[in-house]
Amino acid sequence: MVITPLSFFSIVRARFSAILNTFRNLLYDELVPCICTECKRSPSPYYFRYRTLLRCKSKRRSFLPCEKSILDVDVIELLRGVEMHVEEIKWQVFISYSSKDFTAIEMLINELKKKRISYWLDREHIKPGESITQNITKGLDNSDNILLCVSDNQLESGWSRAEYSQLLHEILGKNSEKKIIPLIIDDFDITKLPALLKDYRYIRLSEPKDIEDLFNSLA
């Protein structure tokens, strides 16, 4: 049996927990050091409460801000530093969009954050040097809903992109329980909506009632 640093740490941690639990009414916290770029270089990094990280994971909150650097830190990566096996977070919605439209949907993303609706977005979940295809596949697999941001820019980038074409066919073939929500951006001509999406109720980014319905369906 190979003992890795993490497995050894898990053994030590379990022993300490067993000892601490023998004391009645003893209050203590388990702390996890921050892994943001600033804290990695600092001799005194910020520490997250372990139980807070577990709550974030159960609430499907992907990131927490470091109190020192104010940078967002990946909850799963923090837990991977102290646990042997960490399951991926499940997201409520996967956002598929054209990068040219990001400014248009940025306000929507901010509202998702305020309403504590967990989402998967490529620019937040794919780090430099990581596989785009693998991360997109993981995001789709672990998301309950797919928000397709429909625009002329998206059509020009190719609607048969691997990130959702197979999933669309699975849903149409009743092989997936995921829900697809077309989000029409700005003045997109609805007659150009791809045939695969015409049977789905779409919503418009410019309609407050539509966005309210979207939040209600995701909550």
Please provide the average confidence, as pLDDT, over all residues in the chain.
82
Measured from the Cβ of residue 94, the count of other Cβ atoms closer than 10 Å reads 26
> Which range, 50-54, 87-91, 138-142, is most confident?
50-54
Report whether CATH 3.40.50.10140 matches the domain 91-218.
yes
pTM: 0.63
Does 202 or 2 have the greater pLDDT score? 202
Per the CB < 8 A criterion, the answer to whether 86 and 153 are in contact is no
pLDDT confidence bin for 31, thresholds 50/70/90:
very high
Instruction: Compute the distance between CA of residue 132 and CA of residue 115 in angstroms, rounded to an integer.
Output: 28
Instruction: Compute the distance between CA of residue 198 and CA of residue 120 in angstroms, rounded to an integer.
Output: 24
Query: For residue 162, what pLDDT is reported?
Result: 55
Question: How far, CA to CA in Å, does 153 sit from each of 80, 145, 148, 181, 186?
Answer: 38, 22, 12, 18, 11
Give the residue extent of every domain in the chain.
5-80, 91-218
